[in-house]
Structure 1
Amino acid sequence: MNLAWLDLPLTTSCYAWRLERVDGVALGFVSHDRDLVIDNLLYRAAPGMVPSTIALSDNLEMDSVDIEGVMTSGAIAEADLIAGRWNGARLHISLINWESREEEPLHLISGEFGEITRSGAAFRVEMLGATSFLDEAIAPLTSPTCRARLGDRQCKASLVTHQTEITLTQVTGGELKFADLQGRAADYIYGELRWLSGENCGLSFAIINGEGNAIRLADQPAQPVFVGDRVLLTAGCDKNFATCRDRFQNSINFRGEPYLPGNDLLTRYPGA
C-alpha cells in the first residue's frame, strides 16, 4: 500500500464516509469544504462529521467508534432516524487525499450501526465492528422450540410461497385491515409486514396479532399510513414442532429438541 501522501509536509487528508442503508440507499460524506466524487459516488461536504478516536489493532477485541455530527445533510433527516431507516446501516470510514483522487485511500474501519441517540439537531451513533459477532454463543443451547428464523439458511423454507402482496383497505385504531386477505390474518402472526408504498415505504414491522382480515403490529409506524398503501406480508411461525411439521411440512429442518427430557427428570426420585 502506497501511502506516501501521508508524509507530505502539508496535509491534504480528510475523512470519507460511505453509508449504506438496508434498503439499498448509499450516501457519501467528506470532512472537507467541497464535494468529491469517489468510485462514481458523490461525497457531499460535511465538515461537522468528525469521528472519535479510532484505534486500529491486530487483536480480537471488538473495534468500535462513536460517531458524532450535525444533521447538515437533508438526506439524514430526523424523521428517517425516528422511523428506523438507519437501523442496521453499514458504514465505511477511510482517510483520503482530497488533492489527488488517484492516491490509494487508507481504510480505517467498517461496521454496522448500533445504538442511535439524538440531542436536538445533533446525533451520536455507536458503530459495531466486524468482531462483534464473537459475543454470540459458540454453540447453540438446546430448546424445545426452533432456533431458526422462518426462511433463513437453517430453516430452508421458501418464503415466496408464504408471502402475500396486498393493499390496505382500512385503518381502525391500531389495526390494519385488508379486504383481500380472506380471513387468513392469523397465518401472519409472528410474521412481518413490509411497506411497499406510502410514507413508510421500505420499512418492516413485526406482526403480533391477527384475526379475520385485520392484523396488529408490534410497533406503530412513525409516519402515517393511508388506505391504498401496498404491503408485503410474510407468514409467521410460532417455532413449535407441530407447526413446522403440519403447516410448513419442514420438520426435517426443525432446529429444536421438542422431545429432550427437561430438568424435571433429574429431580425425580423413588416414591415421588
Structure 2
Amino acid sequence: MKSVSAALAAHLAGPVTTLATCWRITRVDGQEFFFTDHDRDLVFEGHVYKARSGYSRTAIANDASLSVDNLDVEGVFDSEAISEKELRAGLFDQAEVRIFLVNWADPSMGALRMRRGWFGEVVLTEQGVFRTELRGMTQALSQRIGELYSPECRADLGDHRCKVPIHPPVVARETAYALGDHVRVATGSGSGSEVYEDRIYACVVAGTTAPDQPAYDTTVGQQTADGSAVFEAMEAWSRAGAVMSVVDRAIFTASIDEPRAVDGWFAGGVLTWESGANAGRSIEVKGWTQATGQIELFLPMGYVIEIGDLFRIHPGCDKRLDTCIARFANVLNFRGEPYVPGQDAMMSYPDAR
C-alpha cells in the first residue's frame, strides 16, 4: 500500500486530477538530473524538474510476489544536460531512478511514489533514441548470497580478502601505520600515476609518519624512515602508461614500464583512464602483447582514445592457485578449494577390473 498525504489522496479521489510524472536520476558518480512530462518546469522539494517530452515506458505494475518488477523505457533525452556522448560512454549505466507523481497545480501536496530502481545498460541508437530497462529493487534479491566450494579463488584481486595492494592509499602525514600496511608516495613529476614512479611502500616498522615528507628511496628493497615508521620500496602492481598509437576505441599501443609484463600479463586486469575524454572510466583488459605494447579492451570506450592519453593498469588474475603462487605470492589469502574432489570423483564407483 502506497503512502500519500491526505491532501493528495483527496485530489486523487476527485473527478479531475492535475498530475505530472517526475523522474529523478542519480548517476553512480553522484550527478543528479530532474525531469517531468509536464509542459513546463516544476519545482518540487527544492529541485527544478525540467519539462521534457519524447519518452515512453511500459506500464508500472506491482504485486506481492518477489519477482523482479522491471519496466522498459524508450525515448529521446532532449535536455542539454544529458549528451549523446555521456550515454554512449555508459555514464548512465546503473543510475538510480525514482519515479513519482505530483499535483502540478499544487506540488506542496507531496508525491505518490511509483517506482524506484536502477537503469540497466543504456543503449543509444544512431537515430538518437535510447532504450534501457529500469530494474526494480527486488533485482538485488536475485543475486547469489553466500558462497559455494570452488577450485578457483572467490576473492576479487585487491579486495579486503585478497589483500594484494593493487592501488593502496596515498601516505598521510602524522598518521599511524601498522606493520604490513601499504601506501603510495608521490616521489616524481608528471601527471596522474606517473608521480608514484611505479612504486608502492610496505610498512616494515610500525609507527607514525612525520609532519613533513622525507625523501623516499625508490630503489626496490630499500627502506625509508618516515617519522617513527619505516617503509620499504616495492614494485607497484598498478603501472602508469601512455597511449602511443591508436587502432580504434578498443585497441591501441602504449608505453608501460613493467619488466614482469610477459604476454597476457594485463589480460583480465583493469585499465583506468586518468586523462583525455575517457578520464575516470575503468574498463577490463582483454589482451596484452609485450613485444608491441598492444592493449586490447573487452569493450570499446565511449570516447575516442587519443595519443598521449594517460592511464593506470594492473594485471589480471585468473583465480587459479598456480597464478596466486607464481604471480602474486599470495597463497595464504587464496579463497578457493583446488583439492576438493569434483563431481566426477563424487560420482565414480569401484572398478572390479
Q: TM-score, normalised by structure 2?
A: 0.66
Larger RCO, structures 1/2 (Cα 8 Å, 6+ apart): 1
**Maintained 8 Å contact 1:187/1:235:** yes
1:251 aligned residue (331, 344, 347): 331
SS in 1 for 2:299: coil
What's the CA shift string for 1:206-260, capped at 9, x where partnerless?
1011233432212232432111212232332111123234443443443321111
Matching of residues 80-159 of structure 1 within 5 Å: 80-118=86-124, 120-159=127-166
1:169 aligned residue (235, 244, 248): 244
2:350 paired residue number: 269
2:55 aligned residue (49, 59, 72): 49
Matching of residues 183-222 of structure 1 within 5 Å: 183-185=259-261, 186-212=264-290, 213-222=293-302
Tell me the number of residue pairs that the alignment of Structure 1 and Structure 2 aligns: 272
Gaps of 5+ in 2: 169-236
What's the CA shift string for 1:169-207, capped at 9, x where partnerless?
333566433324334545422111122332223332210
CA distance in 2, matches of 1:64, 1:247: 43
Query: What RMSD, in angstroms, separates the aligned Cα atoms of the two structures?
Result: 2.9
Query: What amino acid does structure 2 have at the position aligned with 1:188?
Result: F
Distance 1:159 1:91, change over 3 A: farther
Query: How many percent of aligned residue pairs carry the same amino acid?
Result: 35
- The structure that has the greater radius of gyration is 2
CA distance in 2, matches of 1:22, 1:168: 27
CA drift of 1:29 comes to 0.7
> Is 1:182 aligned with 2:185?
no
**Maintained 8 Å contact 1:31/1:50:** no
**Maintained 8 Å contact 2:97/2:119:** yes
Gaps of 5+ in 1: none
CA drift of 1:27 comes to 1.3
Query: What amino acid does structure 1 have at the position aligned with 2:10?
Result: D
Query: What amino acid does structure 2 have at the position aligned with 1:147?
Result: R
CA distance in 1, matches of 2:164, 2:48: 40
Distance 1:147 1:106, change over 3 A: same
Distance 1:219 1:121, change over 3 A: closer
CA distance in 1, matches of 2:315, 2:332: 19
